[in-house]
Amino acid sequence: MKRVTILGATGSVGSSTLDLIEREPERFEVVALTANSDVAKLAAAAIRTNARLAVVADASRLSALSQALAGTGIAVAGGADAVCEAARLDCDWTMAAIVGCAGLKPTMAALEQGHTVALANKESLVSSGAIMTAAARCHGATLLPVDSEHNAVFQCLDRTAPRSVSRIILTASGGPFRATPIEAMRAITPEQAVAHPNWSMGAKISVDSATMMNKGLELIEARHLFPIAPDQLDVIVHRQSVVHSMVEYIDGSVLAQLGTPDMRTPIAYALAWPERMETPCARLDLAAIGSLEFEAPDYERFPALRLARAALAADGARPAILNAANEVAVAAFLDRRVGFLEIAAIVADTLDCYDPAAPETLDAVLAIDAEARRIAGMRVKDCVA
Ligand code: NAD
Ligand code: MG
């Protein structure tokens, strides 16, 4: 039995992970499930999987969780520290699928226990990649990439030396506004931005896909996961989301991983690694698809991608500031307080007026994150005024 913990069990990635685990109950045992506030969904999942512990990060929801699980024998806890405690419990595999910077401490807690961590929470690596990967090395933890692009790259890396890789090429769908006239982008609503053409995902990452900030975050994520320099990382727009990414070798060979766009495939790869497991995902029918298209990304239309590229090259505190400002701007957009085009503008303004030294500890990252959020929050107010 593989003992698993899911951080962010009620989200899109968390639910897909539960779906796979529940298909093979004889193979998996659930240690802990955590969620932010959706107590009903968390309790239902804990009962279905007979989890040992259910944790709600929003401590004001703890009594509701206790009530929902009364008489089941499932332990309950509440608060952000309790999420980190859950991440520290002994287990064989942890899914880190909390969204945003809230995932940093729980992910770190799991790595410090030397756990095998399937990492969906890309913000962890963007804000604190060097610190997280150093902790993983120091504590003997294993990081398995879940983001579909990085999972594809992971699958395409052969056993040759790292220097035989010449380029990593991340594919991007281009999101719902790949061909929208730029003038029309000003009026984009949250509903339009969240409706991704190929993938069904949480609201924040869906907006990130629409601005292409998601691909920018993924470039930074890739730099920390794989032994590669920033100038060896490329993005190509591929609107069908069938080729999930590619690795180019010094001999000219390019290996790609393909599949239908369903997160259960990369999650299953991480869950069964180093083996494989069955999934119910639709099989790829290339004859029905007919042709696969590729084009260069448009850095004018998607300034967020340009900002992320610059943060990738500059490194230090820049990626943490980029990420924090983006989280604030995306939340304000989803709240209808700022427009779609203002998301990248708020990130750019925050980066312009805040340039601290590179953080060396997770606490330093969190301090930079907090200050960048404060500055971005002021920009949001300026936009609303
Ligand atoms: P989601 O919004 O659907 O779910 C987020 C989960 O995090 C929920 O369980 C929520 O309860 C929990 N959470 C939110 N705030 C929290 C807090 N403050 N403290 C504790 N828990 C909190 O998000 P998602 O789409 O599942 O994405 C999760 C992560 O995976 C993100 O970092 C995203 O970028 C990444 N990712 C997602 C996909 C996808 O297909 N959805 C693909 C690649 C990477
Ligand atoms: Mg991705």
**Amino acid identity, position 127:** S
- CA-204 nearest atom, ligand 1: 2
At residue 200, the pLDDT reads 87
Residue 365: phi and psi, rounded to 5, are -60, -45
199: closest CA among 214, 186, 187? 214
173's CB contacts (< 8 A; 6+ apart) are 196, 197, 198, 199, 209, 237, 238, 239, 240, 241
Query: How would you write the pLDDT of the chain (385 residues) with one tens digit per residue?
Result: 999 999 999 999 999 999 999 999 999 999 999 999 999 999 999 999 999 999 999 999 999 999 999 999 999 999 999 999 999 999 999 999 999 999 999 999 999 999 999 999 999 999 999 999 999 999 999 999 999 999 999 999 998 999 999 999 999 999 999 999 989 999 999 999 999 888 889 999 999 999 999 999 999 999 999 989 999 999 999 999 999 999 999 999 999 999 999 999 999 999 999 999 999 999 999 999 999 999 999 999 999 999 999 999 999 999 999 999 999 999 999 999 999 999 999 999 999 999 999 999 999 999 999 999 999 999 999 998 7
Give the residue, by CA position, lying nearest to ligand 1 atom 31: 99
CATH 1.10.1740.10 fits 152-262+293-384, yes or no: yes
> Measured in Å, how far apart are the chain's first and last C-alpha atoms?
56
Class of the CATH domain delimited by 2-145: alpha beta
Of 81, 101, 205, the residue with max ligand 1 atoms within 8 A of its CB, to mutate for a pocket test, comes to 205
Give the residue, by CA position, lying nearest to ligand 1 atom 18: 102
Question: Counting ligands in written order, which one lies closest to the CA of residue 173?
Answer: 2
pLDDT tens figures, 170-227:
999 999 999 999 899 999 999 999 998 888 899 999 999 999 999 999 999 999 999 8
**CATH 1.10.1740.10 residue spans of the chain:** 152-262+293-384
What is the residue whose two structure tokens read 């990060």?
Answer: 57
**CATH 3.40.50.720 residue spans of the chain:** 2-145
- CA-8 nearest atom, ligand 1: 9
Give the residue, by CA position, lying nearest to ligand 1 atom 4: 11
Determine the Cα–Cα distance for residues 111 and 288; give it in Å rounded to an integer.
Answer: 43
Determine the Cα–Cα distance for residues 164 and 159; give it in Å rounded to an integer.
Answer: 10
210's CB contacts (< 8 A; 6+ apart) are 175, 176, 177, 188, 193, 194, 196, 340
In this structure, the residues whose C-beta lies within 6 A of any atom of ligand 1 are 8-14, 35-36, 38, 57, 83, 97-99, 102, 120-123, 147, 199, 201-202, 204-205, 263
